[in-house]
Structures are given as structure tokens and as C-alpha cells.
């Protein structure tokens, strides 16, 4: 019997702006950095060797400091392999 690759596990990437500079960053840049960090951590392998995965769910979230005005203090991207 051929050895199967283990099912890929979800990975999470996070990016935190430098302290006291949260309001100076574009939210798009923050989420892009978090997604890049998640992609670097995948290390997923497929049984066919192509290492291409369809229907990967991408979830974005944030840690928000609620003050007036509020700000995002951490950007998060989670990659969940399709099943």
C-alpha cells in the first residue's frame, strides 16, 4: 500500500504593527502581511506531488483595541485546506 501524505492542517499567520503606530498602517497591508506569514507556514504536501490545493478557505480576523478612536493591534489570516 502506498504511503499517504497526512491531511494538511490549518495554519495561522499574524502580523502586529510596530508599537504606537497602529493608526499609520493600511488595513490592507496588515492583512496582506498576515496572509504572507500564514503561507510561509503551510508546508502542505499532496499525494500527487503537485502540492496544489483547491477550495482553501481564508479567514481574516483582528485584535482590536477599543478606545476613541479604536485601532487594530494585530492582523490574523487563517488558511483552512478544503476537504
Averaged pLDDT for residues 17-42: 88
Q: Which ranges of the chain does DSSP label H, i.e. alpha helix? A: 27-40
Averaged pLDDT for residues 29-48: 95
What contacts 65, CB < 8 A, 6 or more positions away?
22, 71, 72, 73
pLDDT at 57 over 70: yes
The pLDDT tens digits of the residues spanning 43-55 come to: 999 889 899 999 9
pLDDT at 5 over 70: no
How high is the pLDDT of residue 1? 46
Amino acid at each position: 500500500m502506498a504511503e499517504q501524505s497526512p491531511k494538511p492542517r490549518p495554519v495561522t499567520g499574524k502580523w502586529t504593527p510596530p508599537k504606537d503606530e497602529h493608526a499609520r498602517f493600511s488595513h490592507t497591508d496588515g492583512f496582506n502581511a498576515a496572509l504572507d506569514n500564514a503561507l510561509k507556514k503551510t508546508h502542505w504536501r499532496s499525494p500527487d506531488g503537485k502540492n496544489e490545493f483547491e477550495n482553501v478557505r481564508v479567514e481574516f480576523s483582528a485584535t482590536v483595541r477599543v478606545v476613541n478612536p479604536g485601532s487594530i493591534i494585530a492582523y490574523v489570516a487563517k488558511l483552512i485546506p478544503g476537504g
